[in-house]
Every structure is written in structure tokens, then in C-alpha cells.
Structure 1
Amino acid sequence: MSARPQPSRRLFLGMAATAPLAASGVLTLGAGTAHAADSAYVMCYFTESTSLGLGTDYGLHLAVSTDSLNWTPLNQNNPVVTPTAGALGLRDPFLMRKQDGTFVVIATDLKGTDWSYNSQYIHVWDSADLRTFTGYRRLKLHDMTTHSWAPEAFWDAGRGQYAVIYSSVNSSGHNVIMVNYTRDFVTASSPQVFFDPGYDVIDGNMAVGVNGYNYLFYKKNQTLVSARSTSLDPGSFTEYSAGVAHGGTEAPTVFKSLTSNTWYLWGDTYTPNGVFYAWQTSNLASGTWTALDQKTYTQPVNSKHCGIATITTAEYNNLLTKWGSPAWNRLKSYNYPSRYVRHADYKARIDEYPFDLYTDSEWKLVPGLADSAGVSFQSVNYPTRYLRHYSYALQLDVNDGTSTFAGDATFYRTAGLADSSWASFRSYNNPTRYIRHAGYVLRIDPISTTGERQDATFRVGY
């Protein structure tokens, strides 16, 4: 979940544990079973904007990535499916590849931020390929007057069933991680307490069968911490790490790289239109994580509480074919990677995400108005306006059709002056000058120093 208050006291009755399980199985990503051919990643999420207005949507969103760090939102960052029962919205979606190779999606039954809404159900969809979603239903987890927040699932080989874990309030009045078992995500066993350390915990995320241990990650006091066990038995996990945070952080998502021994931990800040932060480790058992430089990763715009799984190259390509990549881009600053190029009062600048309106930072990179070999930046929310320089400062103006405007609004994309894998933009009619930021304001200047090269380098992404 995201941006939730502390729970009030509610009654929840747990059930006796089922038969114990020896640690078995190998986790590749999230809690699912990855195919040997998996070579890419898919993310599910919902969206919230700063003002809970434009850009807020409580449906299922998807994005894809080849490196698990930089993401391409699908369907123009619009939902691919939306609940039609319960609260008519979702939070905290999670997707998993099942044992038969198909996918299941589960999610919190909640639309918006009415934390007093107590649903005994979670949303469920089946999908063969994440291009179509079938069998929509809600799965009942308990009979108590409490919530069923942030459901996730993993395959419990010893029981021959899937375990669905989620956050609910127990008889002591604080959130614990509960578990139900299911073979089909249609009916489920009675609930049990999976993890109760004696204080409030939410947002459970599992890594199963890693060098003899099973790991449970969760939010404790706005920090992401973890527990571990040599079995998957309810009640067997013991906290072992001090945890990480960037401000108030929740919604841990842990997964392993497909190309190295690196594990990644994503977390979500405790606000609407929050920001994802990421950490990495090569040893889960150490409990020690190193923060990643924000230059290395970019979340889908407005995304909240994500889940990540692996997919094949064919599935990656098919998803892009089905849903399409965005018709717009965002430009991230190289030396201020929390900031994006946007217009404000028709002036061009870099500001820290998130901000209203987020669409101020979305641009269509169209063929250059003065030379189609170049590029012009067309505003998404003011489509008659383009970025152009005027007295060397960049501003957003209406295209008046003149050759002067066309020249001022045309730039040549080059390899990034500070990093060749990024991009820089040279002025068409002032070819010794490049777009750069100075005091967070964009202008065109000659570039000579290391600092100026960094100011003039941007990542073109989403």
C-alpha cells in the first residue's frame, strides 16, 4: 500500500498452521518461477499524481524493460484493465508467472485513499500473455472487519499450493502479514498469521529458496527491512536486517538480475505521486544494501507500489506490439537526475519530480522544423507550442510558421557530452551552442568545461 495512516484496533482471528515445508525451489525474480528463456522484465503498478487529479488511475498499468532499471510504460501509461467489482479500483498490484507458464494478477480492492474501506477480498485476473486478461473475480480471504492490503503470492512447493500473503490487523490491533493457500486463486484456505513481530508491518514481499533461506521484505516504521527462515512455515521468520529508507519508504520489491548476481530492492516513498528509490546487493544474507545513483534508473511517470516479474524476449516484443510505447518522452538531467526538463509559465527549466502538472515534462520529439534531420520539442499539453531559444534562453512559444522560429526550435541530437549513452542537443542556427541548464533554467551556450558538459547532457526516456 501507499500513504496509509497507522491502523486502528480491529479483531482478526488466525487459524492453525498447515503441515511444515522444507526449504525448496529456486526464486529467479519476485515470487514467481521464471522461464529459462526469460530475458526481460515487466512491471505492474497503479498511478497517483501529486494532486490526486490528472495522472491518477486505480487500474492495472504495465511497463517493460530490458535492464530492470529503465522502463517503457505501455498503453501510453494508461491502464490495461480496471476492476469492475468491489471498490471499482485497485492498489498494490502484483503479477506472477504460475507453474503452468501463464500469469495471475492480484491487487488490493481499494480505489483512492479511503483507508476506512475494509475489503475482505482481493482482485484477481488470469492472463496467458499479459495482452488479454480473463476470468476477473474477487477472492475472499477472511470474514473479519479489516482490510486485505498489498497481496502478493509465491509457490509453496511443499504444500503444492500458492501462498497469498497480505496485510491485515490482528487481535492485538496492529498490522501483521497474513497468509492463505490456494491452488487456483478462486478459493482459498482459512487465513493464518504468517509474520507478526509484535509491531505494525505491511507490504510483504518474498524471495524464496536463496542459498537455503527464504526472505520476507516488509515496511516497518517507514523503513524497508527483512526477515528470513529456512522454511516457509507461518511464524518461522525472524527479522535480521536494519533496513533501508529514503525518507518514508514502503512497498518493497526485490528481484534478481537476469545477467548478474545482483539483487535489486525497489521502494516507494510515502506520498501520492511518490518516487521510487533503488538499492542493490550481491548477497541477500548480508542484509546490507547500497543505494543506486538515480542516473541509473527511471520509474514510469506517476507509478506507485510496483511488482516486477521476468518475461521472455517474445513476450516483451508482443507486449510492445499490443500496447505500444509512449508517443512522448521525458528528459532527465544527467547531473541532477531527480530533475526533468519541463515548462513552467512557458519558460524551460529542470525541476524535481514529482510536480504539477506532470504533463509539463512530456515532449514529442518531432522532425526538426528547419531540418528534418534535427529534432524539435513539441509540448504534449500545449501542442501548438515548441521549445525555442530567444536571446539564448529556452521558452515555449506558438509556432508562427516563420523560418526564424523554425531555426530557433530545431536542434541536432548528438551523443551526450558527459556520457555518450545519453544525449545532448546542438542548436541548428547557433551551432556552437548546446541546450544546457544554468540555475535550473534552460538556455543554449557554448560548452567547454566538465560541469558545462554535464549540464548539457540528458537521458531521453519515459
Structure 2
Amino acid sequence: MPLSRRNFHRLTALGALSAATGGGAVLGSASAAQAANTAYVFGYFKETPNASGDSYALHLAVSTDGLNWRPLNQNNPVATPTAGMQGLRDPFILRKQDGTFVVLATDLKGRIFNLNNQYLHVWDSTDLRSFTGYRRVKFHSLNTHTWAPTAFWVPSRNEYAIVYSANNGRDVLMVNYTSDFRTVSANQVYYSPSYNVLDADIVSDGSTFYMYYKNMDDGRLYGARSSTGAPNSYTNYTSGLLQGGAIEAPLIVRNNSGNTWRLWGDSFSPVNSDYYAWTSNNVGGNSWSVLPQRDYTPPLNVKHGSIVGITQAEYDNLVSRWGLPNWVRLKSYNFPDRYVRHASNVGRIDAYPFDPHEDQLWRMVPGLADSSAVSFESVNIPGRYLRHSNYAIQLAANDNSASFRGDATFVRTAGLADSTWSSFRSYNVPDRYLRHSNYVLRIDPLTSSSAAADRQDATFRVS
């Protein structure tokens, strides 16, 4: 089996299905149109390469564009299972027909995948600010796993379908139906082609259902469609999609605005970027374009989650309840898989993920030499700041001298390579900007006439 079971999930439908699949905008109103949603919430669990940042619990992040995410609750859990394995993977958030939410998750803790489990964790939630009715629901009596749930409303049955990964002699997708997420129908095979499959995500657009999944035999993502969404009714319509060396856990998302779509795939190699993405104006066509990594920033240490559209009021309420992080990350413009971090007290940019992951977290505080500017204090070594010394960037303890305060202060400006990003001019050597060179940070003279590559080296996204 692959090293992890990770995917995003989002169920989106039009008309009567909108509220059941994340399109509903007002809690308690299943008829609210998808257009009322202006933001997104993302539920996930966490892992890091050496397991130091692992968290097998429900985490939440929010975004206004569905691309760049800010964790809630300082990236700490908002709900943790207390039964079964007492840990979860693969959380899926569904907005039900009544506008409230249900959370489904794999009952598994850690990275050992040969433990078969017949149950899923389930919570109810009115607004994702509290989680009630925790229970485990049994889906079958087979000697196999119950992984990576996704769910959607089936009008013809007046029930929800819950689809998950299992093994029936080979890896297949199973389905159970429910009206209350407490009792479920007998399990049946949902999709079983001539090859092993994993990690389905299913959306509805008009009267057509679209399913994306991983073909385990060739390691690529495929799309299939059905006019009914019934078991064994899907026909492939895309060629295999792949970015990076390994990919799984597809997620297909209709954007809140416009008729555009995003398809996400999760890299499960610890040395690669965690996510790749495509975009398309036609979910029914085989016309996906690669979305540059520069355009999106997943939540820190995120694994296998789900995305749901929310209103501005819901966004505000979630932020009020859980709070946004008191730290930032600095993403490189021209190496968008790399983030500013300290290592052996040297400032540099390294490819994410890495450990200790806290090395990339900064408190961007009022400038030590000028409160209208900024300074960067390390989160995991408080009292140490990024400062320049002989133009090289170091992490050093604040001795409160005037020279240190000046060296550790930077004036934030519009990005030299992209004005929607940021650049940082040295406070006490004002003709020089913070930039990377051979992945190491320093300050160098830069102007609008400097080489484009140099301006890109000095441009960062604060997230």
C-alpha cells in the first residue's frame, strides 16, 4: 500500500444539491445558492517527515480564495477521537441538506496501514465551532479497512452515499447509504475496474456525477463520469494525470465564483511538495492545466483533508471562535516549494516539508528599531531574530543594542517581482533588500532595474 492515505474532499452540486455538498451558504437553509459562499474551510490531519509534528485529530484552516490557507487554533486540533484507535486520518466535512455539517474520518492513528477497521469516526456540527454526537459507525463485517470517506446526497434515494476505500480481493471502492449518519445500509462495491483503485472524490454538476480516483497500478489520477451516481455506473473520460514522482488522493473542487474547477493531488513522498493542482473551465472535458505552486499555499503540515464552501459570516465566526495564527511563513517567489527558515542559526530557504517544521515559523513583530517596520522573531527559539551581519542573515539573540535593533529591522514593501507579494528592505542599509542566493539569505543592493532573477530572489509571500 502507499505510505499514506491522503486526499482533499469537496462535494459540490448545483440546484437542490448545493447545500448538501458544500454549496449551501446559510446554516439551516438547504436551498441557499452556491454563489452565497465567499470563502472556504479546510479540515485535515497533520504529519511531518520525522513524525515530530504528527497529529491524528481534526484541524481546520480557512481561505478566502481557496488557494492560500491560514490554520485556525494555532494549527492545534479542534476535535480528537476518544474511541477506537483514538486517532483519525482522512477527515471529510459535508454540509448536509439542512445546512448543518457532519464530519467523517478514518479510524486510524499513526502510519501503520495493515490494521483493518470496519468503522468510521463521525461527528455532528452546527457551525464547525463545536462538534457533538461523537460516535463510531460500523460499515461492514469484512476483514478489510475503511479508509478515506467521501459523501454526497443522492436525490433519487433521498439518502446520502458514503464511499470509501476497501479491499474485496483487490483494492476497490465501497458504498453504504444513510439518512442520519448513525445507521447505514449494507455495504456494496461502488467501483471495481480491472485494476486497483484508491481515494475517490465525487462531485455533481447538473445531472452528471464526476469521480476522480487513483489507479494504483500506474500511479495516476483518473476521472470517470456517471449520469446516475449509482454503483458501477462510471465510465472513464480522462487520461491519467501525474505531477511529481508520486501522487494520490484526488480532490475536485468547483470554485465559489465562476464556472472554474480545481483538481488537487497529494504527493505522498516526504521529499516532494505535499500538493499539486490543476485547473479547468470544463469539468467534463479532459482539459486540465497545471496550476503553478506559486499560486497556492496549503496549511502547515496538512494531510488528507476536505474543503467546504462557507459564507463570509461563517468565515468570520470561525476566526472569532478559533483565532488565526500568531506566526507567519515566508514563501519564496521563484522557488515556491521553499520557505524561509533557520538552520544552525543561518537564514535560508528550504523545500517544504522538513523538520523541525517550527524552524519556518516567525512572529512578524513591530521593528526593533522602528515600529513602522518589521522584525522576525523565531517561534521555536524566542528572543532570537533574523539580522544581517556582514550582509549575511543570521538568527541571533537580541542584545538590545542599537546596532542589533537596526540589523534586525526591515521595511516591508511591495514585492519587487510581484506587487501582490512582499519584499523587505534593510532598515540600516536601505539600498539593500533581503534575498536568497544559493538558498542562503543575505541583503544585497536591488533596484527596479536589477535583473529579474535578483528581484525574484527578494520577493516573498507572507502567509
- Answering whether residue 202 of structure 2 is matched by residue 206 of structure 1, we say yes
Q: What are the superposed Cα offsets for residues 207-228 of structure 1, whole Å, 9 maximum, x if unpaired?
A: 11x2442111111132221111
Residue 392 (structure 1) aligns with: 391
Residue 140 (structure 2) aligns with: 142
Q: What are the superposed Cα offsets for residues 201-259 of structure 1, whole Å, 9 maximum, x if unpaired?
A: 11111011x24421111111322211111112111111221131222111111111111
Q: Tell me if structure 1 keeps the 8 A contact 2:14–2:23.
A: no
28-37 or 391-400: bigger deviation: 28-37
Q: Tell me if structure 1 keeps the 8 A contact 2:150–2:164.
A: yes
Q: 1:215 aligns with which of 202, 210, 213?
A: 210
Q: Tell me if structure 1 keeps the 8 A contact 2:166–2:172.
A: yes
184-193 or 37-46: bigger deviation: 37-46
Q: Separation in 2 of the partners of 1:269 and 1:2?
A: 11
Residue 270 (structure 1) aligns with: 268
- Judged with a 3 Å threshold, the aligned counterparts in structure 2 of structure 1 residues 30 and 126 are, in CA distance, closer, same or farther, namely closer
Q: Tell me if structure 2 keeps the 8 A contact 1:94–1:106.
A: yes
1:271 deviates by: 3.2
Matches within 5 A, 1:370-449: 370-447=369-446, 448-449=450-451
Q: Separation in 2 of the partners of 1:431 and 1:223?
A: 50
SS in 2 for 1:371: coil
Residue 324 (structure 2) aligns with: 325
Q: Separation in 2 of the partners of 1:264 and 1:26?
A: 22
Residue 19 (structure 1) aligns with: none
Q: CA RMSD in A?
A: 1.7
Q: Separation in 2 of the partners of 1:30 and 1:175?
A: 28
Q: Tell me if structure 1 keeps the 8 A contact 2:14–2:206.
A: no
State the percentage of identical aligned residues: 56
Q: Separation in 2 of the partners of 1:166 and 1:202?
A: 8
1:268 deviates by: 0.8
Q: 2:222 aligns with which of 222, 225, 235?
A: 225
Q: Separation in 2 of the partners of 1:193 and 1:176?
A: 7
TM-score, with length taken from structure 2: 0.92
Q: 1:458 aligns with which of 431, 444, 460?
A: 460
Q: Separation in 2 of the partners of 1:63 and 1:100?
A: 23
Q: Which amino acid aligns with 2:162?
A: V
Q: Separation in 2 of the partners of 1:251 and 1:226?
A: 12
Q: Tell me if structure 1 keeps the 8 A contact 2:23–2:37.
A: no
1:86 deviates by: 0.5
- Answering whether residue 42 of structure 2 is matched by residue 43 of structure 1, we say yes
1:328 deviates by: 0.5
409-418 or 444-453: bigger deviation: 444-453
- Answering whether residue 280 of structure 2 is matched by residue 284 of structure 1, we say no
Q: Tell me if structure 2 keeps the 8 A contact 1:368–1:375.
A: yes
Q: 1:174 aligns with which of 166, 170, 182?
A: 170
Q: Separation in 1 of the partners of 2:94 and 2:16?
A: 14
Q: Separation in 1 of the partners of 2:122 and 2:62?
A: 21
- The structure 1 segments of at least 4 consecutive aligned residues displaced by more than 3 Å after TM superposition are 23-33, 271-274
Unaligned 5+ runs, structure 2: 6-12, 26-32
Q: Tell me if structure 1 keeps the 8 A contact 2:416–2:458.
A: yes
TM-score, with length taken from structure 1: 0.92
The number of equivalent residue pairs is 440
- Answering whether residue 256 of structure 2 is matched by residue 258 of structure 1, we say yes
Q: Separation in 1 of the partners of 2:215 and 2:176?
A: 22
Residue 122 (structure 1) aligns with: 120
Q: Tell me if structure 1 keeps the 8 A contact 2:19–2:97.
A: no
SS in 1 for 2:284: helix
Q: Which amino acid aligns with 2:72?
A: L
SS in 2 for 1:389: strand
Matches within 5 A, 1:350-365: 350-365=349-364
Q: Tell me if structure 1 keeps the 8 A contact 2:151–2:163.
A: yes
Q: 2:69 aligns with which of 58, 71, 79?
A: 71
1:31 deviates by: 3.8
Q: Separation in 2 of the partners of 1:317 and 1:32?
A: 17
1:306 deviates by: 1.7
SS in 2 for 1:206: strand
Q: Which amino acid aligns with 1:453?
A: R
Q: Which amino acid aligns with 2:236?
A: E
